[in-house]
Amino acid sequence: MVVERGTSSASTAQTKTGLVLLLAQLGRLIRRFFQYLILQVRLFWQGLGDRVRRQRQQPRQSFVERLANKLQRLETQIPTGDPRQEWLTPEEAFELLGGQLDNPYSKVSTLNGKRCIGLSAFRRLVNTAEYADFGFEYSSDRRLKNLPYLRRLPQ
């Protein structure tokens, strides 16, 4: 019996078509992979851009508040005169002079004893010389900024 091997050319043709189909599938797979990769990179850059835009917008919203806070911190750090002496409110100064805050009839006198006033009149003093009569330094700038504005004069 003679067996023809003519089927081998048919099998090589099938192998070639199988190889071509396999390469085509592999090409489609690689193309899809790169499409997916490019899409992921675009999404990453878009998200990064959104984050940067949000960060740029946030400081603009609170810029005035941050500036006001920073200015207030700097104002309290400005050395004026003797740094060992603290600024006082009129109530604290009134108590240092011997007045009582809970007693509406309590009065304090000037250093020379010529004038006696109560707490409400002491609060209304606005002149540097008037506070100096009581032994205090007065800062109108600090009063305008609602900060404690009196401190003891050096003896």
Digit-by-digit pLDDT tens for the chain (155 residues) are 555 555 555 566 667 788 889 999 999 999 999 999 999 999 999 988 888 877 776 555 578 888 888 888 888 777 666 555 788 999 999 999 999 999 999 999 999 989 999 999 999 998 899 999 999 999 988 899 888 999 888 87
Q: Where are the domains of the chain?
A: 13-61, 84-152
According to DSSP, residue 48 is labeled: H
The CA distance from 12 to 16, in Å, is 6
Q: Tell me the whole-structure pTM to 2 decimals.
A: 0.47
Q: What is the spatial distance between Cα 140 and Cα 148, in angstroms, rounded to a whole number?
A: 10
Helix or strand or coil: residue 52?
helix
**Residue closest to 149 by CA, chosen among 102, 71, 98, 81:** 81
